[in-house]
Amino acid sequence: MFGAFARVTTTADNTGDLKKILDGLADVQVYVGVPEGGGDHGGGISNAELLYIQSHGVRSKSMREEMNPDIESGRKTYSQAYEMYIQSHGSPLWHIPPRPVLEPAIEANKDKISKQMQRAAQAALDGNDIGPELHKVGMMGQNIARGWFVDPRNGWEPNSPLTVAKKGSDRPLISTGELRKSIQFVIEDGNS
């Protein structure tokens, strides 16, 4: 017959401290984008508004109202919603195709960003200041989004021949570089 005895001793219960650390980390947000008021593109439009237009294309109000609920809920991608609209209403005249920046750039690099977020979490668990690690997350997201303008994975429709002739370049969304430079990161602490 085999008999085994085990003794479990708790020298310190740190679950409360761990919960406090994790709750504090959950209250901190890192945002990447164009802050409202983050520069004027000219013609009365901000860089934030310009990036929205470039991300979503120019569509009539009725087209946006019909497509956006499916896109924003995640039920359909932009392409699927657009295809459904075309099947229902015919093709609208497009002057500016959508060239999304923030969401696809972050999505394409989520593994790299996630690894840096893990470093921030580890710093919190080790009792260290998470500020420098979150700064790295923000800077990484900012640089990834800025780099998306020239990343071949962006899949953007090329400039039209008329646009190429007018601006002298075939690079979509790059003229002065101000829109790209307006993408920034902000760290907000919900506890502050």
| Tens digits of residue pLDDT in 80-107 | 666 556 545 555 555 567 788 888 999 9
Count of CB atoms within 10 A of residue 70's CB?
16
Residues 82 and 131 in one domain: no
How far apart CA 145 and CA 105 sit, in angstroms, is 5
- Position 73 in a domain: yes
Tell me how far the alpha carbon of residue 71 is from its chain's centroid: 16
Would the pLDDT of 142 be above 90? yes
- Position 8 in a domain: no
Residues 67 and 142 in one domain: no
Residues 119 and 76 in one domain: no
Residues 45 and 69 in one domain: no
Q: Which domain holds residue 47?
A: 15-55+99-189
Number of structural domains found in the chain? 2
Please, what is the angle between helix 110-125 and helix 131-147, to 10°?
A: 170
User: Percent of the chain having pLDDT more than 90?
Assistant: 25
Confidence of residue 140 (pLDDT cuts 50, 70, 90): very high
Higher pLDDT, 14 or 40: 14
Residues 40 and 21 in one domain: yes
- Position 1 in a domain: no
Residues 148 and 170 in one domain: yes
Residues 117 and 162 in one domain: yes
Residues 158 and 126 in one domain: yes
38, 71, 93 — which closes off a domain?
Answer: 93
Residues 120 and 85 in one domain: no
Residues 45 and 137 in one domain: yes
- Position 7 in a domain: no
- Position 6 in a domain: no
- Position 63 in a domain: yes
Q: Which residue has the tokens 């075939």?
A: 170
Residues 51 and 67 in one domain: no
Q: Give exposure, 127-140, as e/b (b: 16+ Cβ within 10 Å).
A: eeebeebbeebbeb
Q: What is the mean pLDDT of the chain?
A: 80
Question: Quick check: pTM over 0.85?
Answer: no
Residues 178 and 89 in one domain: no
Taking the CA atoms of 70, 72, 73 and 78 in sequence, report the sign of the dihedral they define. Answer: positive
- Position 179 in a domain: yes
How far apart CA 160 and CA 64 sit, in angstroms, is 23
Q: Which residue has the tokens 């310009």?
A: 50
Confidence of residue 117 (pLDDT cuts 50, 70, 90): very high
- Position 64 in a domain: yes
